[in-house]
Amino acid sequence: MKHDELDLVIRNGTLATAGDTVRCDVGIRGGKVAVLADSLEGGRESIDATGKLVLPGGVDSHCHIAQRSSTGIATADDFRSGSISAACGGTTTIVPFAAQHRGQSLREVVAAYHARAEGQAVVDYAFHLIVSDPTPKVLQEELPALIREGCPSFKVYMTYDALRLDDRQILDVLSVAKREGALVMVHAENHEVIAWLSEHLLAEGRTAPKFHAVAHAATAEREATHRAITLAEVADVPILIVHVSSREALEEIRAARLRGLRVFGETCPQYLFLTAADLDAPGFEGAKYMCSPPPRDVASQQAIWQGLESGVFQVFSSDHSPYRFDDPEGKRKHGQSPPFSKVANGVPGIEVRLPLLFSEGVRTGRLTLEQFVALTATNAAKIYGLYPRKGTIAVGSDADIAIWDPERPVTITASMLHDNMDYTPYEGRRIHGWPIITLSRGERVWADGAPKGRRGRGRFVARTLPALARPAGSRAS
C-alpha cells in the first residue's frame, strides 16, 4: 500500500499494544497515527525497525516535577529536565502534581503550575491536583471548576503534618469526586503510628536513614490502606492507592477487588528493585534510598512482583521525586548527616522506569509484552482520561511511540541519565532493553543516543475522566 502523503513510516517492526502483538508498519501524518498495515510504501521519512519493538510511549502518571515539598525543598527537576529524562527512557506523557499547601487557593496553585510548565516541556503533560486544605471554597467552587477544566484526578495524604487530611475531610473530598466524576488517589500511611515510632526512635538515638523504614512500618501502610478503602466504600466511589510497597497493603487491595470494589493499585520501581537493606548503607548513603513508603523486605518485593503479574496492580509509575543527595537544597537540607525525620523523602526514576521493568519483567517471562504495555501506558491512560489519545498505537491516536532494541545491554549510571540528579539508586545495575527512538506526536524527542525535543513543544492535555472499567491487560486477581 502506497501513502506518499505520510510524514513518517515505521517499517518492519513488531508492534505491541495492551491487547496484541503483531508485525505491522505504522504510518504517521500530522502528529497522529494515520494507518496501520502489513506493508506501507512511500512516506517523506522512514524508520527501519527490523528486529525492534514498536510500543506506545509510556505514560508516567505519578511524578513530582517543579514542585516544592511541604517542608520547603524544591525538586531538582523542572519541566524541561524532567520531560527530557522521561523522553530518553521512552515516556511520552507525564502527569505531575499541582500541589496545594495550606492557606493556598487551589486555582492559584494550578495557574502557577501552568506557568512553570509553559515553554519548558518536550513531551505532553497533564496535571493531578494535591488537595491539602479542603476549605468550603475549595470543595464547592475551585475543585469542581478545575475538574471540568481538565484536571479530574487529585491526591490526598493520610500522613505528613502539612498535608494530611483526617477521615472526615477525606470523605468530603470523595463526595466531590463522586458528584463531579473524578478520581481520588491516596497516599495511605497511618500518620499517628509513624509519628509515635519516629518519636521513640529519635529519643533512643536511632537517627540513621535505616530507621526511616522502621518508622514507616508496613503495618502503618496496611491500616491506612484498609481505612482508605473503607472511606471510599462509604462514599461509593473508586479510588487508587498510590506507591504500594508492602505485601500487607497489596492484600488489602486484592481483598477489596474480590469484593467487587472499584479499587485500583499502583506500584513503582523502588519496590521491585530496592529493599530496606539499601537504607542501611554506610554513613549517610542510605538516604539515597529513602522514600515513603520505604522499600520493604525481600518477601514484600516478591509479593509486589506477583501483584503486577496477577493484576492486583493496574499502574506502574515512577513516583520520580528528585532530591539531590550531596546538596544543601536536597537530602542535606538540614545538615551533612541529619536524622531520618529531616531527610527529603523521594528517589528519582523517571528515565529508568520502563527499561527496568522491561528487562526484569518481560525478558524474564514474569510479564508478557502486552502486560508491560498495559502497566506502563494503556491502563494509566484509561484510568486518568487520556485514552485513546495516549497509551496505545491506533489510527487517530497521537503518534507517541517508543522503538525499542530489546537486546541492548545497558549499565545504569547517574552519568548516563538526563535528569538533574547527582545519583541514581540503581547505579551499576545491568539490564537489557532500551528505547532507541522516542516519538512524541511523530517528532523525535530521543534518537541517536541524544535528546532531540525542542523545549516548549510539549502541550498540556486536558482530560475528561471516563467511566472506570476494568483496565486492559489485567488478569483476574
Specify the amino acid at residue 171. Answer: L
Say yes or no to pLDDT of 235 above 70. yes
Say yes or no to pLDDT of 329 above 50. yes
For residues 50-79, average pLDDT: 94
* Residue-wise DSSP of 6-47: -SEEEES-EEE-SS-EEE-EEEEETTEEEEEES--B--SEEE
Say yes or no to pLDDT of 73 above 90. no
pLDDT of residue 218: 98
pLDDT of residue 68: 85
pLDDT of residue 411: 98
pLDDT of residue 4: 67
More confident residue, 73 or 396: 396
Buried b (16+ CB within 10 A) or exposed e, 292-315: bbbbbeeebbebbbebbbebbbbb
Which residues pair with residue 212 across a beta bridge?
A: none
Three-state DSSP state, 185: strand
Contacts of 65 (CB under 8 A, 6+ apart): 75, 77, 78, 79, 82, 83, 94, 96, 320
Q: Where are the domains of the chain?
A: 58-376
Mean pLDDT of the chain: 95
Q: Give per-residue pLDDT as tens, 130-165.
A: 999 999 999 999 999 999 999 999 999 999 999 999
The length of the chain, given as a count of residues: 477
Contacts of 247 (CB under 8 A, 6+ apart): 218, 296, 299, 300, 303, 304
> For the whole model, what pTM was predicted?
0.96
Q: Where are the alpha helices (DSSP H) in 9-53?
A: none
For residues 65-74, average pLDDT: 86
Beta 53-56 vs 91-94: how paired, if at all? unpaired
Say yes or no to pLDDT of 113 above 70. yes
The CATH architecture that domain 58-376 belongs to is Alpha-Beta Barrel (3.20)
For residues 129 and 70, what is the distance between their CA atoms, to the nearest angstrom?
Answer: 14
